[in-house]
Amino acid sequence: MVIRSNKKAIQEYIESSALNQSKLKLLSISAQAFQEVREPDLFFEEKEHFLIGKAVDDVITMGEDYWNDNYYISNITKPSDTIMSIIQQVFQSRTSDSLFENDLLSAIEAHNYQPNWKIDTKIAKVSTEGEVYWHELVQSEGKTILDKDQYMKCVSIVNQLQEHRFTRDYFIADAKYNHDIHYQVPIHFYVDEVECKALLDMVIVDHMYKTIIPIDIKTMGDYTKFFDYQALRRRYDIQASWYMKALQQWKEDNNMQDYAIHEFRFIVASTTKQCDPLIYLCSQEFINAGEFGSSRLRAIKVSNTTYESELYSYGWRKLLYIYKWHQENGWDKDYEIEMNNGIFTIGSDYQKY
């Protein structure tokens, strides 16, 4: 059986002030990174690989009704990023559904669009290229707009995941064997008296064998066989370990204390390459690194001599400790800077991630 979380539960999760792993990872950069809300260079910025990735995730995990309520398929070719952003800014503060009855010039100036052009020329250019997109915004009524190419790419990836010999079995709920697939699973839990939360893409429960398989769906703009590199660079070990911790609470909440949690796994598809979707199992070493941190030696060759340099990365346990330190000592100082009294050593290979 397929089980999807209702919209209310997802909205409550989003609005919850509890700490999630994505936010916590910002502390590996600095206290300032954790606090600040980064504004994009443009009022509105659409990165296609993120757009496609979210659309794929939503169509699989949220279902057809959610898709119809939140996505709009357009027949037009979208304008340039800057003009799209200008039109979006005007749309957000519109006083009527007519583009030409709104303050287009203010948005143009806010974007510093073509500063050497005459005002009439800039308005004419944005109007010409943006008018059709404006009408699509009006028609879509706040939904996420996909053009036909983006939509077809999304459909292709979803079909590949659900039909490919490597991945299709993960998306089949077998009622005969009492096999459930839970999509978009919000979990609230506590660690060291800190309120935390996690939102899992998929949890497969086999009631016959009493097993639980946690899954996250990833898309990437490269060949899927390179995902392990992306996982290390983007610290997906923290995400996987955090979700495994959350699942312990989910087991208790659902009276499944005698169920065994299997390896966390990522199901990965490419948005840009023709290649197989792959499954990546997370080893216990990977999970431990996400929770407790890890150090590894890295070979560096200088002239004809090879040196070994140690890289250390925090796990979520340490990041949670840093979070609690800031809660007690304030956010105007950085934990690492304070612990080092403002003194750092420059080595031959420094990497912070």
Residue 188 has pLDDT above 50, yes or no: yes
Backbone angles phi, psi at 195, to 5 degrees: -75, 125
Q: Report DSSP state, residue 235.
A: T
Ordered structural domains, the chain, with CATH: 41-148 (no CATH), 164-339 (3.90.320)
pTM here?
0.81
Token pair for 229: 């590199």
pLDDT recorded at residue 187: 96
Distance of alpha carbon 165 from its chain centroid, rounded?
26
Distance of alpha carbon 287 from its chain centroid, rounded?
19
Mean of pLDDT values over 312-324: 92
Q: Measure Cα distances from 347 to 252, 284, 310, 341, 344 in Å.
A: 47, 30, 10, 18, 9
Mean of pLDDT values over 224-250: 95
In whole angstroms, give the CA distance from residue 242 to residue 253. Answer: 17
Backbone angles phi, psi at 99, to 5 degrees: -55, -40
pLDDT recorded at residue 178: 82
Q: Of all residues in the chain, what percent carry a pLDDT higher than 70?
A: 89
328-353 per-position pLDDT tens digit: 999 999 998 999 899 988 765 555 54
pLDDT recorded at residue 175: 66
pLDDT recorded at residue 37: 45
pLDDT recorded at residue 78: 87
In whole angstroms, give the CA distance from residue 180 to residue 173. Answer: 6
15-56 per-position pLDDT tens digit: 899 999 998 998 888 888 888 744 445 555 557 778 898 999
Greater pLDDT, 1 or 238: 238
